[in-house]
């Protein structure tokens, strides 16, 4: 019997080759699974040495995390406990006596406060005092552990834009979280609930989210350089812009609260127009809206808005230094000190005059 025409033989060869190729393809898949499947624990690859930046970050966390506090609060009418938490925030150990520093807004209105240190038990704490105008508060543990580790304190006077910083806290209730970044800007101002502005605020791109409030911002040496307090985001979540109260402000206010339960606030007894309205008025300084009767400003003859709604005196200088916004005036008053006088240059009806005003404790 003939084997067929050459054309038939060609197509039989093609079919055979195709069958062999498909068989190899399917068989290869089964062979790969059979011979190459990792059905036993893999051999681990040794880790190389951490990079310099990784070593810094891990060391900062190891040294600082034991000083970071997890703060739970309860509002009046509720009971403190893990099943009935009202609010959470962060803080840090200030001294071995059991003082904890946090944001004032973290403990505002709280009837009870609980603190967790270094993954331990919840320790009840009481509020020693608050400074809402700097968004700072001090707590004291009712049963301070013997092994408390106060945070190392640095300074904010020599910070530089671009230097590395680390934030440790409890964002969204996730305890002992480390984020890193750089100082994005210095000498920002931040409005507070009291109508004042915190001067010298640190801006950072280290992630700060709800729950980080009151936690420490530290440098690469693990030293406290600021207290994380706010983010700039309509959604309430981090977008790359966070703020921290500078440690030099913290180191001035916290000891006062520990000693007396309060922090003196340098002022002269005035209320000023918001910066937006001042800008619309085209005023070259801080515009006085009202003057507190009997205050240093009142005794010096400063004037606020009159009965016809005309703006009051415009403060343009303090002790010879230019004043363009409230933060400038705040710094000048703090520099002068409570009980001393400050020389203010003001504009009234287009005329310039200089007055001596006593700086007083307006938080008394």
Of 81-90, 225-234, 314-323, give the range with the top mean pLDDT: 314-323
Q: Which of 213, 219, 295, 328 is catalytic?
A: 213
Q: Which of 67, 90, 99, 105 is catalytic?
A: 105
User: Quick one: average pLDDT of 85-92?
Assistant: 81
Q: Are 263 and 253 in contact (CB under 8 A)?
A: yes
Q: Are 196 and 330 in contact (CB under 8 A)?
A: yes
Instruction: Return left, alpha or beta for 254; rule: phi > 0 is left, psi -120 to 50 is alpha, else beta.
Output: alpha
Residue with the larger pLDDT of the pair 198 and 201: 201
Check if 213 is active-site. yes
* Verdict on whether the full-model pTM lies above 0.85: no
Q: Are 354 and 343 in contact (CB under 8 A)?
A: yes
Q: Are 91 and 100 in contact (CB under 8 A)?
A: yes
pLDDT of residue 76: 65
pLDDT of residue 172: 82
**Distance between CA atoms of residues 295 and 362, nearest Å:** 9
Q: Are 272 and 291 in contact (CB under 8 A)?
A: no
pLDDT of residue 179: 92
Work out the percent of the chain whose per-residue pLDDT is above 70.
85
For the chain, how many residues are written?
Answer: 364
Q: Return the minimum-mean-pLDDT range out of 234-248, 256-270, 296-310.
A: 234-248
Check if 95 is active-site. no
Local confidence band at 101 (pLDDT 50, 70, 90 cut-offs)? very high
Q: What is the mean pLDDT of the chain?
A: 85
Q: Return the minimum-mean-pLDDT range out of 19-33, 69-83, 235-249, 297-311.
A: 19-33
Domains of the chain, earliest start first: 68-141 (2.40.10.10), 164-260 (2.40.10.10), 266-361 (2.30.42.10)
What secondary structure letter does DSSP report for 261?
S
Nearest to 263 by CA among 251, 272, 246, 277: 251
pLDDT of residue 83: 45
pLDDT digits (tens, 9 = 90+) for 122-147: 899 999 999 988 899 999 999 999 99
Check if 99 is active-site. no
User: Quick one: average pLDDT of 351-363?
Assistant: 90
**Distance between CA atoms of residues 191 and 198, nearest Å:** 6
Q: Which of 135, 205, 219, 328 is catalytic?
A: 135
């Amino acid at each position: 019997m003939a084997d067929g025409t050459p054309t038939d033989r060609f197509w039989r060869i093609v079919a055979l080759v195709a069958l062999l190729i498909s068989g190899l393809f399917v068989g290869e898949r089964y062979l790969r699974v059979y011979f190459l499947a990792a059905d036993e624990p893999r051999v681990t690859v040794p880790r190389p040495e951490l990079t310099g930046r990784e070593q810094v970050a891990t060391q900062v966390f190891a040294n600082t995390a034991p000083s970071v506090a997890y703060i739970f609060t309860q509002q009046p009418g509720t009971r403190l406990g893990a099943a009935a938490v009202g609010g959470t925030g962060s803080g840090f150990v200030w001294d071995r006596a059991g003082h904890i520093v946090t944001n004032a807004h973290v403990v505002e209105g709280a009837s009870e406060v609980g603190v967790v240190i270094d993954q331990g038990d919840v320790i009840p704490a009481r509020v020693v005092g608050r400074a809402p105008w700097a968004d700072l508060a001090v707590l004291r543990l009712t049963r301070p552990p013997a092994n408390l580790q106060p945070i190392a304190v640095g300074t904010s006077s020599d910070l530089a834009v671009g230097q590395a910083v680390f934030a440790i806290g409890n964002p969204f209730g996730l305890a002992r979280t480390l984020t890193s970044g750089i100082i994005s800007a210095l000498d920002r101002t931040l409005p507070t609930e009291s109508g004042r502005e915190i001067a010298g605020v640190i801006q950072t791109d280290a992630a700060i989210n709800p729950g980080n409030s009151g936690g420490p911002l530290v440098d690469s040496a693990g030293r406290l350089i600021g207290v994380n307090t706010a983010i700039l985001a309509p959604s309430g979540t981090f977008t790359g812009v966070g703020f921290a109260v500078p440690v030099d402000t913290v180191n001035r206010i916290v000891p006062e609260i520990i000693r007396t339960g309060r922090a003196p606030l340098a002022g002269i007894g005035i209320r000023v127009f918001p910066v937006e309205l001042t800008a619309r008025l085209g005023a070259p300084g801080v515009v006085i809206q009202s003057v507190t009767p009997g205050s240093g400003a009142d005794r010096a003859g400063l004037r606020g808005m009159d009965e016809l709604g005309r703006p009051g005196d415009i403060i343009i200088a303090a002790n010879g230094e230019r004043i363009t916004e409230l933060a400038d005036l705040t710094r000048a008053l703090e520099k002068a000190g409570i009980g001393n006088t400050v020389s203010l240059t003001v504009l009234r009806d287009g005329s310039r005059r200089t007055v001596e005003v006593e700086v007083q404790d307006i938080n008394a």
